[in-house]
A and B are shown apart, each in its own frame.
Chain A
Amino acid sequence: MGMVSGDCRRLHSLPRYYGYYVAMLTALPAILLLALWISLDQSLITHLVMASLPQSMQPLPPSEQSLLINDIRNLATGNITSGEISPALQAAADHYRHLMHLSRLLLPTALFLLAIGGIALGLKVIHPDRRARPAVERVIRWGLILSASIAILTTLGIVLSVLFEALRFFQKVPLADFLFGLEWSPQIAIREDQVGASGAFGVIPLFAGTLLIATIALSVAVPIGLLSAIYLAEFATPRVRTWVKPLLEILAGIPTVVYGFFAALVVAPLVRAAGESIGLEVSSESALAAGLVMGIMLIPFISSLSDDVINAVPGAMWDGSLAMGATHAETIFRVIVPAALPGIVGGVLLAASRAIGETMIVVMAAGVGANLTANPLESVTTITVQIVTLLVGDQEFDSPKTLAAFALGLVLFIATLLLNVLALYVVRRYREAYD
């Protein structure tokens, strides 16, 4: 400000943008360094320590190596180690501790220096002519672009992580066995010599179970959702509509774990009791109970999507049909539903994608035994249940059992992606027809 002797108008940008500019120069490099440091120092130090180990301990298989690193770390922080402490190990631990200490000391110093440098540079470069605002705005803009790209990074992360692990799985289990195998029993032996150590990874029973439950769910949700939407769109008074629509949508806001609890502890016993009263044997983890409750969960999906597409059919269609002397029901089933059909189909596809990806209801109310059956009264398992079963609890990251979960994840991701793309395509085509 002094440079223009108090005359703000001679500045290129508003005074505070010069402040922002300096602050940015000060903070950004320091923050970058901090992020780099924190993400890298562990692995760097570990690497250095491992390199300093005596030759005898050098080339190690990865699993033992990680065990060794753990030991060193534990030793360095004063915890209990898993094995005996050899002098070499002790030395390595000391080395590790030393490096950690150094890192702790160096980091603030480096940050401080960098910040000072930033301030100095900033103060040096700001002039009244300096285009400070555009510079600040450029940085903000890059920040915005970065944020927008997170979505892509996420997709990429999903695809890469799931694909990578799945490929490792297919190295151990052939793809054909996985896709066409009729038996699923992922029990891998803990010891090499155990009986039945191979395990079976045939995914067909899981597909069948998933489809069975999804079919039950959709056959509950589609009629109820569609009829509700039709009633709300045409028969209900505006008053009823304003109350009932949000009430139905509550069903979509309830966490799935609550549905799972309801399915396992209320609906499943009811279904069982009802079955037994007419002499049917019903499993306590029947596909029917899980499917029914999932259907309830999907009602608002179908109803609000159908409601949208029914309302998107131009009012002129209604008028045209009613003026011909059609009743409301005739108008709905002969004009509106055929016209809205692509949109409704899109909604059903989206609901189907939800149904096969739904996890908690089936984890809590369906079985874990892979059962190849079409009987809704028996217990079946689904892809999502198996992913959870395989990954919850202690597991080794390299065993086919764990990797199988990623292969299942890949299958699930591809299936839901295809359904979604198809649904969005159908809905968009439908929208274009009326725009």
Chain B
Amino acid sequence: MSVIDAGIRPDGARDARETDATVGKPFLEKKVTLRARNVNVFYGEKQALFDVSIDIGKHEVTAFIGPSGCGKSTFLRCFNRMNDTIDSCRVRGEILLDDEDIHDPKMDVVPLRARVGMVFQKPNPFPKSIYENIAYGPRLHGLVSGKSELDALVEKSLSRAGLWNEVKERLDEPGTGLSGGQQQRLCIARAIAINPEVILMDEPCSALDPIATARVEELIDELRRKYTIVMVTHSMQQAARVSQRTAYFHLGRLIEVDKTDRIFTNPSHELTEAYITGRFG
């Protein structure tokens, strides 16, 4: 159990030989929402993730960074079992959501995904009206009874996503007609309409311009108070701006996890340092 060893390693240890062990602080003592233990993911014969173990803290933003193809998105998709939709993909290991194993055969993905929402890289509003986009989840799960209740929920979700004032006059217009940044906030509003515990964000700003990105980042920071957020990002600045903890992935391995300021100011692992100083990536 080299990972566990790595967990109790004293802070700041630099050890280039131990590339498959995680340095930093992967485990937390309290207020944990998600626990991943020894997660391995395979696409057919190819292994994409190797023995990843990490805790995700409650009501904080955890950012996954790393070069392309390092497995951070794959790992993110394990938390709501979106990898089930890929036929060749197999996930081994344990992921606990409030101490329930999400890969338990008795666990249904429907309630799991109601608890763990997701926002994608490219905004993907449904080809329906703005109103219908937000109402989709509540209707699906039977959370509202009656039009007025639904109206209130739509307004609340849009307000929370900071979109209400922009779209309240045109709720009947198609969601695809909004600008990119608005679309992404619509997708966030859609996800929070069913009040999940966790929101997974897969590079939520990579398709947006800087101004839209700033608005979404602000939103993420606000949402942290009510939701646990896990985000994958390509941008180290973004991770530095919005996250409290940062995990660095490299070639399918979790290299280092720690408080964000620590990762960016004083990384323990030389791969992390190489990445954040821009020597590759």
Contacts and interface: CB of A to CB of B under 8 A. Distances in A.
Interface stretch (A252-260, A301-309, A311-319): A311-319
A326 interface: yes
Contacts of A320: 120, 124-126, 187, 190
Contacts of A335: 126
Given A316-B124, A338-B128, A322 B194 contact: no
Contact of A321 (B87, B114, B126, B141): B126
B117 interface: yes
A323 B80 CA distance: 7
Contact of A319 (B120, B125, B191, B194): B120
B114 A325 contact: yes
By size class, the interface of chain B is 20 to 34
Interface in A288-340: 314, 316-327, 330, 334-335, 338-339
Contacts of A330: 140
A238 interface: yes
A335 B133 CA distance: 10
A318, A320, A324, A334 pick with most chain B CB within 10 angstroms: A324
A320 B82 CA distance: 10
A317 B126 contact: yes
A334 B136 CA distance: 9
Majority SS at the chain B contact face: helix
Given A317-B124, A338-B127, A324 B136 contact: yes
Contacts of B113: 322-325
A335 B140 CA distance: 12
Interface string B126-139: 11100000001100
Nearest to B114: A325
Contact of A325 (B87, B111, B125, B126): B111
A238 B87 contact: yes
Nearest to B127: A339
A325 B109 contact: yes
B48 interface: no
A319 B187 contact: no
A237 interface: yes
A324 B85 contact: no
Nearest to A340: B127
B118 interface: yes
Contacts of A318: 85
Given A237-B87, A339-B126, A323 B140 contact: no
Given A237-B87, A238-B87, A323 B126 contact: no
Nearest to B121: A316
Contacts of A324: 113-114, 117, 136-137, 140, 190-191, 194
Majority SS at the chain A contact face: helix
A319 B126 contact: no
Contact of B122 (A238, A316, A323): A316
A319 B140 contact: no
B236 to A, nearest CB: 26
B16 interface: no
Contacts, number: 65
Interface residues of A, number: 21
A320 B128 CA distance: 13
Nearest to A434: B127
A325 B137 contact: yes
Interface string B33-67: 00000000000000000000000000000000000
Given A317-B126, A338-B128, A325 B82 contact: no
B110 interface: yes
A323 B82 contact: yes
A327 B109 CA distance: 9
Interface string B176-195: 00000000000100110010
A234 to B, nearest CB: 10
Interface string B142-175: 0000000000000000000000000000000000
Contacts of B140: 324-326, 330, 334
B124 A327 contact: no
Interface string A236-254: 0110000000000000000
Nearest to A319: B120
Contacts of B117: 323-324
A24 B109 CA distance: 73
A338 B176 CA distance: 14
A319 B194 CA distance: 17
Contacts of B128: 338
A316 B140 CA distance: 18
Contacts of B194: 324-325
Contacts of A319: 82, 85, 118, 120, 124
B133 to A, nearest CB: 9
A401 B127 CA distance: 53
B85 A322 contact: yes
B238 to A, nearest CB: 21
B80, B113, B140, B194 pick with most chain A CB within 10 angstroms: B140
A325 B110 contact: yes
B127 A323 contact: no
A407 B127 CA distance: 45
A327 B110 contact: yes
A244 to B, nearest CB: 16
Interface in A207-240: 237-238
A80 B122 CA distance: 84
Nearest to B119: A323
A319 B126 CA distance: 11
A315 to B, nearest CB: 9
B85 to A, nearest CB: 6
Nearest to B124: A316
A381 B43 CA distance: 58
Given A317-B124, A338-B128, A339-B127, A322 B82 contact: yes
Given A320-B124, A320-B125, A325-B112, 9 more contacts: A319-B120, A319-B124, A321-B126, A321-B136, A324-B114, A325-B111, A326-B110, A330-B140, A339-B127
20 contacts: A316-B124, A318-B85, A320-B124, A320-B125, A320-B126, A322-B82, A322-B113, A323-B80, A323-B113, A323-B191, A324-B137, A324-B140, A325-B112, A325-B113, A325-B140, A326-B110, A334-B136, A335-B126, A338-B128, A339-B127
Interface of B: 80, 82, 85, 87, 109-114, 117-118, 120, 122, 124-128, 136-137, 140-141, 187, 190-191, 194
Q: What are the 7 tightest A-B residue pairs by CB atom distance, in nearest-first order?
A: A325-B113, A316-B124, A323-B118, A325-B114, A320-B124, A324-B137, A339-B127
